[in-house]
Structure 1
Amino acid sequence: MADVALSLEYLHALAVDVLTSNGLDNSHAEALAKVLVAGQRDECQSHGVWRLLGCVKTLRTGKLNGSAEPRVHDVAPALVKVDAQFGFSPLPFEIGSRILVEKARKTGIAALAINNCFHFSALWPEIEALAAQGVAALAMVPSHSCVAPAGGTRPLFGTNPIAFGWPRPEGVPFVFDMATSRIARGEIELHRRAGLKIPNDWAIDDEGQPTDDPERALKGAMMTFGGYKGSALAAMVELLAGPLIGDMISQESLEFDEGLGAAPCHGELVIAFDPSVFGGADAGDNAHRAEALFAGIVGQGARLPSQRRFEARERSVKHGVTLSAELHADLLALSKSQDRNADACGRS
């Protein structure tokens, strides 16, 4: 089936329609659609609107509260906690991040803990939103157990991503968002959906053997990147975004799911740093030092993290995005407005 060209506006409206048609409150749907369309816009297919299928599945399990009202707890001068009330994470982040930035500007460093949230999307949209307000930020979440520790053969960790952002005087921020697993789980799902093999160093099967079959990989365990180094970072994420903030580790999240196949439910930790408070009168000179580092990277032919995403973003803003006709049809089938079509609703 041919690809379908769509405008970003159409895609956002379709995403909101899919979510609200399946029981999600409009405020949550708007926040979640923004994140998923951003992934599609930046050509991060594994974190784009394909994940709407998983959102709908999660809504239908009954585990998620589609009309949850996040509760804010102002714990300390440098700490705010938001109880997501078992709803999706983007709206609690939007609410909590405003307080987080205010606290960071007063104290130099502050933390946001989001509890009881269903989180499955990329972290870089959150980090970019903070960098746009002039703060550096670090975010991390566990997920469902699907990754074996280095030297192990059974799932224990989640993909446990870490994201970091640094604001820059001009242009886009310095941002990276990486799983501590060798690859994002969504990439294996996309290979399975497309009937493609995966590299045999991404995962092991349920007998602990390397596999290039995505079906066997999904039944086995993914591998950490960098062996023991990635494994140590994965354990760090489990601790900081789990017991530290009073929430579930990946194994507990999987048990909470009870085999229903919903999105992972756990906590998220976000730490913000205000360079102007840390640097004081020298903040301007420190920013120049950071720019010298970036210039040194690109000056020898290397690229900055997320450069490919930002280039894709420029293309998508100008020309829209493409979806497979199959995925577009799947999304239409989940929406109330099944009479939507690309030509009538913003085909680019």
Structure 2
Amino acid sequence: MPTAASNEAINGIVDRLRGCVGSDTCRLSPEGLLGLITEIFVRAGVPAGPARILARTCVHAERDGAHSHGLHRMPAYLATLATDWVTPGARPRVQESASGTVLVDANNGFAQPALAQAMPLLTRKASEAGVAVMLMKNSHHFGALWLDVEPLAEQGFVALTMVNSSSHMAPVGGTKPVYGTNPMAFACPRDGRPPIVFDQATSVMAKGDIQLAAKSGRPVPPGTGLDKFGKPTEDPAEILDGGTLLPFGGHKGSSIAMMVEILAAALTGGNFSWEIDKSGYTNAHTSRAGQFLLCIDPRLSGENAFAQRIEALARTLMESGQSRLPGDRRHANRKRAEDEGIAVNPALLLSWYDAPRPGPA
């Protein structure tokens, strides 16, 4: 449970937000916002440890400018937690399999706390063998995926992860959702610099970005999705109302989405995207699916000049005219947030904080 000191800090943040009501925004430090969002998750029934991990997922995405996976996700988290679709206090089961394999059963809990429990074993195996893989099932992943691999790159590992989710995307040539947006994230360390990190959906746009476009009344680019009649549309509301997203690059993105289903669902034992049935949980938003994570220790690859080769690659890309490397914009946003604070809507945060939290039905 939060300490008296943390309660005092949270009360101070809440008082500050109440003083900002009437203004569109109020700025909070990343650590202050993390404490408040943690408390909101605790009030929603999540134990303190997992609550802080989930809060970090939302706050760090917001801090780094990934708004579709930041505070935008909080209403969906809270609506889901008001049901018994997900088990907020689930105890993950982590076990060794083969010498380079870690098996994780999240027991219908959130993926990030389960990953945090598995991480020491995963990194130890990767350090010993040069490579290790984590296979997770029965997990709910609802946040930015790059947050799972960036810490590994900061420790010197190369990491690749992917998850599947509820069906929102049609395969190439199809008109009905089969795949999730099936994102993947990759992170690579650099010598004395922030890691190279990318996180991308296999759909033309992530569902969260579609939701933000619908909320603001903005059209989406042609080729983003179909309406419920299978016709192309640039209206994000029509895509969300019984329509479907489309894979990027046609058959190329569709093939990658299939690969994610194979690695994150078939290999782990998790649900395929089309097997996730929330029909009895109309207010639930998370997906009980799977996650695949590959962790490589380049220090054991036999290539002693790895760091220098990465810098040669980065230098060549920038000299070719590329304006930034993957992850650079997030790190710039992160520094700005640390210097200036994170802009938040005070009335919205207070509505989450003050709302009564009924227990699971």
TM-score in terms of structure 1 length: 0.91
User: Cα distance, 1:202 vs. partner?
Assistant: 1.5
- Is 1:312 aligned with 2:333? yes
Count of aligned positions: 333
The Cα offsets for residues 190-230 of structure 1, whole Å up to 9 and x where unpaired, read as 12233333334221101111222222111200011111100
Aligned partner of 1:289 in structure 2 is 309
The alpha carbon displacement at 1:16 in A equals: 0.8
CA distance in 1 between partners of 2:88 and 2:230 (Å): 38
Residue pairs, 1:221-232, within 5 angstroms: 221-232=244-255
1:35 equivalent to 2:57? Answer: yes
Distance of 2:328 and 2:279 partners within structure 1 = 37
Q: 2 CA distance for matches of 1:201 and 1:335?
A: 42
2:259 match: secondary structure: helix
Give the stretch that moved more between structures: 155-164 or 249-258. 249-258
The match for 2:162 is 140
Could you tell me whether the CA contact under 8 Å between 1:130 and 1:137 is conserved in 2?
Answer: yes
User: In the alignment, which residue of structure 2 is the partner of 1:179?
Assistant: 201
Distance 2:348 2:177 in 1: 30
Aligned partner of 1:61 in structure 2 is 83
Paired residue secondary structure (2:97): strand
Distance 1:331 1:306 in 2: 30
| 3-state DSSP of counterpart to 1:152 | coil
Across the aligned residues of Structure 1 and Structure 2, the Cα RMSD in angstroms comes to 1.7
SS of residue matched to 1:198: coil
What corresponds to 1:265 in structure 2?
A: 288
Secondary structure of 1:242's aligned partner? helix
The residue that corresponds to 2:6 in the other structure is none
User: Gaps spanning 5+ residues in structure 1: where?
Assistant: 337-348
CA offset at residue 5 of structure 1?
A: 1.7
Structure 1 residue 123: deviation in Å?
1.0
Determine the C-alpha separation between the residues in 1 that align with 2:166 and 2:296. 29
Q: Which runs of 5+ in 2 are unaligned?
A: 1-22
Distance 1:335 1:304 in 2: 44
Q: Which amino acid aligns with 1:81?
A: L
Distance 2:280 2:298 in 1: 40
How far apart, in 1, do the equivalents of 2:335 and 2:282 lie? 40
1:110 CA displacement:
0.6
Task: Report the alpha carbon displacement of residue 4 of structure 1 after superposing the two structures with TM.
Answer: 2.3
CA distance, structure 2, for counterparts of residue 142 and residue 201 of structure 1: 22
Q: Which residue of 2 aligns with 1:300?
A: 320
**Helix, strand or coil at the partner of 2:267:** helix
Residues in 2 aligned to 1:95 and 1:105: alpha-carbon distance in whole angstroms? 17
Task: Give the AA of the match of 1:40.
Answer: E
Q: Give yes or no for contact 2:167–2:177 (8 Å, CA) kept in 1.
A: yes
Instruction: Please give the alpha-carbon distance, in whole angstroms, between the structure 2 residues aligned to 1:335 and 1:38.
Output: 26
> Hey, what's the Cα distance between the residues in 2 that align with 1:335 and 1:77?
48
Q: 1:11/1:257 Cα in 2 relative to 1: closer, same or farther (>3 Å)?
A: farther
| Correspondence for 1:344 | none
Distance apart, 1:106 and its partner CA: 0.9
Which residue does 2:20 correspond to in 1? none
SS at match of 2:144: coil
Letter in 2 for 1:11: L
Residue in structure 2 matched with residue 195 of structure 1 by the alignment: 217
The percentage of counterpart residues that share the same residue type is: 37
- Report what 1:346 is aligned to: none
Residue 287 of structure 1: how far off its partner (Å): 2.1
CA distance in 2, matches of 1:59, 1:264: 13
1:270 shift after superposition: 0.3
Deviations 1:4-24 (A, max 9, x none): 222212211121111111111
Q: 1:104 aligns with which of 114, 117, 126?
A: 126
Of 259-268 and 296-305, the range deviating more from structure 2: 259-268
Contact 2:80 2:86 in 1 (8 A): yes
Q: CA deviation at 1:257?
A: 6.5
Report the Cα distance in structure 1 between the residues aligned to 2:352 and 2:320, rounded to whole angstroms.
Answer: 44
Separation (CA, whole Å) in 1 of partners of 2:282 and 2:349: 28
Q: Distance in 1 between matches of 2:348 and 2:238?
A: 23
Shift of 1:113: 1.3
Per the alignment, residue 352 of structure 2 pairs with 331
Task: Report if aligned partners of 1:71, 1:82 keep a CA contact under 8 Å in 2.
Answer: yes
- Secondary structure at the aligned position of 1:158 is classed as coil
What does the per-residue CA deviation read over 1:303-334, in whole Å, with 9 as the maximum and x for residues that have no partner?
Answer: 21121111101101111111235533443344
Matched AA of 1:168: R
TM-score, with length taken from structure 2: 0.88
Instruction: Provide the C-alpha distance between the structure 2 equivalents of 1:333 and 1:298, rounded to a whole number of angstroms.
Output: 48
Alignment match, 1:340: none
Greater CA drift, 193-202 or 175-184: 193-202
Q: Describe the shift of the 1:326–1:158 C-alpha distance in structure 2 as closer, same or farther (beyond 3 A).
A: farther
Query: For residues 96-118 of structure 1, what are the alpha-carbon distances to aligned partners after superposition, in whole Å with 9 as ceiling and x for unaligned?
Result: 12111100111111101121111
